[in-house]
Each structure stands twice: as C-alpha cells, then as structure tokens.
Structure 1
C-alpha cells in the first residue's frame, strides 16, 4: 500500500517537473537548474550568485541573473500545470481558496519601473508606512491538518493604476475556470469557497462572480454597519417601498437582536470559541467609488454575518471578536462551523509568504525589471509545489535539537533538506544546449546610466484626484528655462570664495 502511494507521488512529481521544463521556453536549462539549486541548497537563499555553488547548478555565477533577465517562461502553461496536480480540500470535500496581497519592497530602486506604494505595518501600534515596491496578488488552495501547507495556484503583479478588487475578481474567475478544466470541480460538488481578509470588498466580489459556483467569505471591519431586510410594504400606503430595514451596527450590541444560530466549541489553539450568526444582512450601497459606474438601481447583496470570539491566541495577544460575511443565506449550524474554521485556515497563506521570502529567497535578488521579478516569482511557486508533492517521499532529516515529527507534519524546510535525494534519479532535461545556439541573445553593451522611474500609487479607476489639473502641470524647476537661470544664479551667490573664507573647501 505504501509502495503504491510512494510510486504515485513520485510519478506525479516527475510529470510536474517534465511539464515545468517545457514551460521554460528560453534559457531553459539555466532556469531549470536555478530552480533545482533553490530546492537543494542548504539553508536560506542569500544570493542568486551563491546558488552556483550547489551541485545541481552547472553554470557560472552570472548565469542566474542572465536567465532571469533574458529568459522566457510560458506563464499561462505553468498556471495550468500547477492547477492540474492533486489539490487539498477542506473537511467537507470542498475547495477553499485564500487570496491575499504580499509586497516585494524596493524602496531604493529608483531605476526600477512600475513600483507602487505598498502598505506595510510599522513598529508601533496602529502605525503603517507606505514603501515603494511590487505588490503581488497570490491565490492558494488551503487544506486541513496540523500544518501550514498550501497549494499556490496563481500570482498576479499589480501594475500602477490597477484596481485591486477588479484584479482579484478576474484572478479568481480564471483560477476557477482552470480548476473546472482540470476536473477538480464538477456540477453537484460543494461550492468553491474563496476566503479573503478585511481589505477586500466581499459583497462586490460576490456580485461580480455571481455566475460562478462559488461562495465568498471575507472578514469585515468591526466598525461596519449593515442593514436588515426591508419590512413588508403595508397595503394602501402611499410612497416608495423601503429597500432597507433597521441597522445592524457591529459596535452596538443593542442593534444585534437574537442570532439565528449560536454555537460553542473548543479548539486546540484558541480554546473555547463562541459563534453567533445572523441571517440576511446586507450593506447599503451608494453610487460612490466601486459602484460609481454601476448603471441602474444598486443591488441588495444579502448574506450571513458570523461573529467569532475565542479565549486566547497563539501569539499571546488579547483576542478581539472577528466579524465574517458569507455570501450565502440560510446556513445551517454545521455550515457555520465549517465557515469560520475555513477562515482560520486562511492564515496559512502568511506562512507560505514567509517561506517564500525568508527561506526560498523571493525578495533577495535586486532585479532591475518587473518582468524578471515575475519570472523569479513563478520559479519559486513551481519550486514550492514540488516540495508539496514530495511530502509522501520525504524522510525526517531533523537536526539534533529538533523534535521528531510524523511524515505528514513535516514543514517545507524539512522537506527541502532531502529534496536532492528524490530527484537525482529522474533525468528530466536533455543535454545542455550549445553555447553558440542562435536562440540565445546576442551580446549587448550595458548602458552607462539607467533611467529613473517615479513611484505611483494604486488608485481605483472610479477614484478621482482632488485637483485634476495638478497631474498635468509641469514642474517649473525642470521645464522653465527662466527658472533654471534663477536657480543657478542663487547657487552661485551662495558659494563663498575659498581664499577669502580662509578655510577648507566644504564637503
């Protein structure tokens, strides 16, 4: 039984590696060896050049950067390959997708184009900073169990001017289409459940993706105000019927009334948990920001609001109530329990981001172009997927000070320690290409100076600037010749003659 399972896992991993090799259309061997070097090196990735010391990397220290700069990756085919492998499922057999944005910060890369001000948390309480970088929207499939493994499915870099909500909706739609094409979902199966944090507009996502067999679950801020269903219109009453009922204020218990569902349970990490659910609550929409371009009457988007209170947190912080909004109404007690448990699994995507950044070295290289950053991102997503498929083949190569763990609970770092022993017997790539292959780029001279690019923010297309004329106004110091002459004259007058000053030249 175990031999059949190991053979199936080995065959699936081998098929993925072969398909991944076909997805590399230019600088194929260099990109493939770079991925193997990331998987087989000992310890965190500190530099692309240092990966050339790994036995799986058979080229010089500069080939890695050259492959990322001039190589080509068929990203659409790679998306299909990552979706075609076996995917984890929740306790009820449904696919649970987590979507979140993580940033590749580049604060001092003034010559890198398409940088965006990214939100980062400061050291103080309730403080944040805006740092230039490349934000990526990543979608993963979640699974159950006492581990933090996820299955990456898609990654999209947000360009200047992109609306994050529109990009997320389009990204989820494409992922669901690939899941259906790969046979992971068919009519009659439980609905796919995308899970997102409070930064996403859940009702809008549910409205845009209403034609798909999905149910949206998002966390809402604790200062939100929703509305109850409109009361029936009394017969004989003149005037327009009411579209909204009474208010449901998250911060005012007097407006809550009795919940339709109340549940108490005990969890391993969070202790006793109290859950309450109210059915058929909706936000009051207005023709502003996201709904400014909506034609006609705004829809009524009803859903189920779930209130979750736990006793403790693993970090030791004081727990606060969590408000969740589910796009489906009429949920049963069992469905409510599965809903908030699925949201708690969403935090596994944070562990995936940490693995990509701190161990696999996602944000380590100082790449000059966003295209090279996209190639490096997809190389690491393919590497992480190979680690996930190798779990059934792995053995626990633990350090003397580490506790032994079952094979099912090994972390990605422990799987990576012995990954080289799993793939050495699987020849995937042919003999290396001739260095004089015409498919390679001709040598070109490096420019002496690189152009500088300004950092932009990510406003929604529906948002407008407070001063619409400021964006097109030229800078006087740069474009006005008279102003430049005055500036040079002021600088000349401020200079002090060194012999008269009797001192050293100022630095």
Structure 2
C-alpha cells in the first residue's frame, strides 16, 4: 500500500489511560488478578514462558496460583471490551478507508485429552510439503490494517470456532458486529468509502459477499489458480425458445486463451518485487451450485465482481514467483479504475501483517503457552492478550527506543511491538493502574495426604471442523497413478 503515515492520536497518554480503565471495568470477576496478569505480560523482560513465572514480575503482586484461579474462575464482559477496542484510534489505509483482515489461527493441544471442544486444525510446515491436521482450538480473528512498512495491526474481535461451526457464518456474524461497532464509534459515517475486507483462499468469498450485501463492505479474496468463473450472460434474443441464460462464457484461470483483453492493466515499480503487473477483468462471477452452503437460499444469486491477476518479477526469498489471483466484489454497477486496482492488490499484500500479529502473540506474549484445561479459560487468556497488544499499539507514540547495543537505531514511528513492550514498564507508572492491592490470605488445606482423587477428569474426543462429529483415524489412501487435473467452478 502507498506509504502514508498513520495519523497520531491527539492525546496518546489519555487514550492509553482511558483504554486501561475500560479494560479493568470489563473484568467483572477476579478483575484485580486478571488486570495484574495483563500488566505482567506487558512488563516481563523476555518472552512469556509460563504463567507461574509471570508471578515473579514486580508488577504482579499476587501468588502464582492467583493467575490460574483468575483464568479458571474469572469473568470478562466481552461486549464492553469489544466496544473499548473499537473506540480506540483506528488505523486507516492510504485512501483514508478502513481495511479489515480476517484469518484463523489455531491453539494446538494435541496431547490435551481432558480438554473439551478440540477440533482438527490445519497446519502447514510441520513436514516436507505436508498439511497435517492436529487437534486444537481454532480462533477466528478480525483486525484492522494500516499502511506503510510496518507489522502493526489493530485486533478488533476473536471468536473460538466450536465443533461443527460454519466458518462463513461465524465470519459474517463477526464482521457484522465489528462494522456496527465501527459505525457506533464514529469511525465510519454515511458517505465514507466502503470498508474493504481482505481474506485468503480458505474463505468462501461469494457467500460472505451475499451474507453481508446490506453493509458498506466490499470483499477482496484470493482465489486458487484452478478456479473457473463465468462472464455476464449475453442479451436474450427475441423469439428464442427456452429460458434466459444465467451465465456467459467461461473464464478459466489456467487457460489464457479464455481471458481476452483485460479491462484494466497497470505496471507499478516496487522495492521488493520489482515491476508488479496487475490485469483486471470486470463483471465475472462464480457459478454457484445447490450444495450445503446454499441449501437455504431460495434462488442462487449472481454475484459479479472483478478478477485481478498480479505478476511480479522476483520474490525477496529468491523463489520463483507465482501469479496471485484476486476477486473483488465490485458489483454490477461499479468497475474499479486503474488507481483502485493498484490499491486493491497492495491492500491484499498488507493482509500478511496479520501473520506477524499471530507470531507476536504466540512467541512473545505466550498466547499458546499456558496448558489450560477448559476452552473458556483459553478465551479469557485470548482476550487479555488482545487487550495487552492494544495497549502496546496505543503506547507506541509514547515509547522510547530502548535498543540493545547490537541493534540499529529505529525512528519513533517505526518501533516494532517488541520494542514498545521493552519500554512499557517505564510508561506504566505514568498511566492508570486501577488494580487494588491483594488482601492477605493463606492457601487452603488441599486434599488430605493419602486420600485418592475420586473424581477423575473426563476425557474428550477430537471433533471434525465441518460436521462436528468425532474424529476416527482412517487408513491412508494410495495416490492415483494418473490423477485428474483440478478444475473447480
């Protein structure tokens, strides 16, 4: 995306203090312990390795058992916390519009047989060119993207996918709630540019477009290279027998002879990828079929959009670049111009910033570190880390660059989340700290020595993501000697 600096808040210290007060008010049970646990995550010297070690941080004034008890027995008013996240300063794209990204990341729990509601989660990179399914808790995130060379995002919502949940339905409900909160907070008003929602190829872009067609949203999704779309139906010839045609000719991604001349063609010089060539074809739609996703739809709709093919000269890794196919739900009465086409493919490249957010949550803030038993405790820990990450984003204009001797100096507007966290301990005394001091207490007696546990923890089966049925290992199928080429509509 074109490099335009994000507008800084007028009062960064006031925004941070207001958000911390709202976070504390949303912690309705075990609030003091949960708030100090969040501060311990922000003020720890290194990556979070365990909850017990967080009790050694000076900002955590309670014992290590209080953290586990707060996550197990505490309560968070998620609605109030979501409103606080949306009310914070919102990053925007180069053309001053809001760009949202959706993606699913997993909290893997392969050996947690006593943890309920585990689902087989898709993982990549754990074997040579293998996609391995591992039990865990998948979470659907919605974040706001910003422009420029940065890894910052603004997480706005997170929902754990229950067994048998429909990803498209869950994502549509998330986006509908997020857009409603953005409108309530005044970040979007009638007359503003539509909100772009960027997603990868794992989402059903056509169904999300249909479910969210009453909102000021435009969907931008990557498509696989084996897709086949249809052109608009030709005009009906008077006197022709039979019903009117619904679809025109095919647009086959793998067959250049079916493309025709592009409606828009642009070439942009980039620093990392060399010349980037974008070609766009308008008024192309997928041919929907009557399967489970559209079973409740009385009439299959026609969803016209713009297909964009992006080709680059090189990749930073040195690998051979492959074309990227994008589909933009432009509608029947709007065809993007060359400037909009350039912003679209640049907005899709900014979607990869969400991967940096996931890596920071897991490797630095320790999102998947605690061995929590119940998924509800995992939800509380997830929301605490989202609140912690938002505090780092709000403290970004206030933080100093406490660099190591071997690190290069960084301008204040280019500090990474890890560097802002490095100096958050110095900012904490200057902002709101509403948590109360712990009361003196003593640990309970526990189970008497020699008495066995007569209430063993139940074991739970792993579920399938689509149907919600329990998973059973299946024998491996032999690969076909002459596989048929893939061609999906």
- Native 8 Å contact 2:9 2:89 kept in 1: no
2: CA distance, partners of 1:257 / 1:374:
50
Give the conservation status (yes or no) of the 8 Å contact 2:163–2:467: no
Contact 1:196 1:217 in 2 (8 A): yes
Partner residue of 2:458?
451
The Cα of 1:389 is off from its aligned counterpart by 0.6
Structure-1 residue corresponding to 2:413 = 408
Within 5 A, what are the aligned runs for 1:75-154?
A: 75-154=78-157
The Cα of 1:235 is off from its aligned counterpart by: 1.4
| Greater share of helix | 1
Name the SS for the 1:13 alignment partner. Answer: helix
Matches within 5 A, 1:325-364: 325-328=327-330, 329-364=334-369
1:80 to 1:236, Cα distance in 2 relative to 1, 3 A? same
- Measured against aligned partners, the alpha-carbon deviations of 1:267-318 in whole angstroms (never above 9, x if no partner) come to 12222100000000001111012112222x2111100000001122233322
Contact preservation (8 Å) 1:287, 1:293: no
Given the alignment of the two structures, is residue 380 of structure 1 paired with residue 382 of structure 2, yes or no?
no
Runs (4+) of structure 1 exceeding 6 A deviation are: 441-447
Determine helix, strand or coil for the equivalent of 2:352. Answer: helix
Aligned counterparts, 1:3-82, within 5 A:
8-82=11-85
The residue aligned with 1:504 is none
Q: Secondary structure at the match of 1:227?
A: strand
How far the C-alpha of 1:368 sits from its partner, in A, is: 0.4
- Give 1:313's aligned residue: 315
Does residue 417 of structure 1 match 2:422? yes
For residues 123 and 69 of structure 2, the distance between their equivalents in structure 1, rounded to whole angstroms, comes to 31
Give the aligned partner of residue 487 of structure 1: none
- The offset of 1:123, in angstroms, is 4.0
Q: Name the SS of the counterpart of 1:117 in structure 2.
A: strand
Per-residue displacement from partner, 1:182-229 (whole Å, max 9, x unpaired)?
A: 000000000001100000011111111000011011000000000001
2:251 counterpart (245, 248, 251): 248
Q: Is the 8 A contact 1:6 1:393 kept in 2?
A: no
Secondary structure of the residue aligned to 1:392 is coil
The CA distance in 1 between the partners of 2:133 and 2:454, in whole Å, is 31
Note the alpha carbon deviations across 1:411-450, whole angstroms, 9 max, x for none.
10000011011111334315336467xxxx9998786521
Q: 1:278 to 1:444 in 2, by over 3 A?
A: farther
* Residues 103 and 140, structure 2, Cα contact 8 Å, conserved in 1: yes
Which residue matches 1:367? 372
CA displacement 1:306-365 (0-9 Å, x = unmatched): 000112223332211000000004111111111111000000000000000000000000
Q: Which whole-Å deviations, capped at 9, do the CAs of 1:120-167 have from their partners, x for residues lacking one?
A: 114445421110000000000000111110000000000001011110
**Secondary structure in structure 2 of the residue aligned to 1:273:** strand
The secondary structure found in structure 1 opposite 2:164 is coil
- Work out whether residues 24 and 74 of structure 1, in 8 Å CA contact, stay in contact via their aligned partners in 2: yes
Q: Report if the CA contact (8 A) 2:62-2:438 is conserved.
A: no
Residue 307 of structure 1 aligns to a residue whose secondary structure is strand
Instruction: Name the CA distance, whole Å, in 1 between partners of 2:20 and 2:297.
Output: 45
Q: For residues 443 and 156 of structure 1, do their structure 2 counterparts lie closer, same or farther at Cα, with a shift above 3 Å needed? A: farther
Q: Give 5+ residue unaligned stretches, structure 2.
A: 1-7, 448-452, 471-489
Matched with 1:304 is: 306
| Residues in 1 aligned to 2:98 and 2:9: alpha-carbon distance in whole angstroms | 24
User: Aligned equivalents of 1:315 and 1:116: distance in 2?
Assistant: 33
Three-state SS of the structure 2 residue aligned to 1:67 is helix
**Normalized against structure 2, the TM-score is what?**
0.90
Distance 1:455 1:79, change over 3 A: same
Q: Is the 8 A contact 2:17 2:432 kept in 1?
A: no
Match of 2:242 among 239, 242, 245: 239
Q: How big is the shift at 1:233? A: 1.2
Equivalence for 2:188: 185
Distance in 1 of aligned mates of 2:221 and 2:9: 38
How well do the aligned residues superpose, as a CA RMSD in angstroms? 2.0
Contact 1:105–1:131 (Cα < 8 Å) also in 2: yes
Task: Confirm or deny that 1:214 pairs with 2:221.
Answer: no
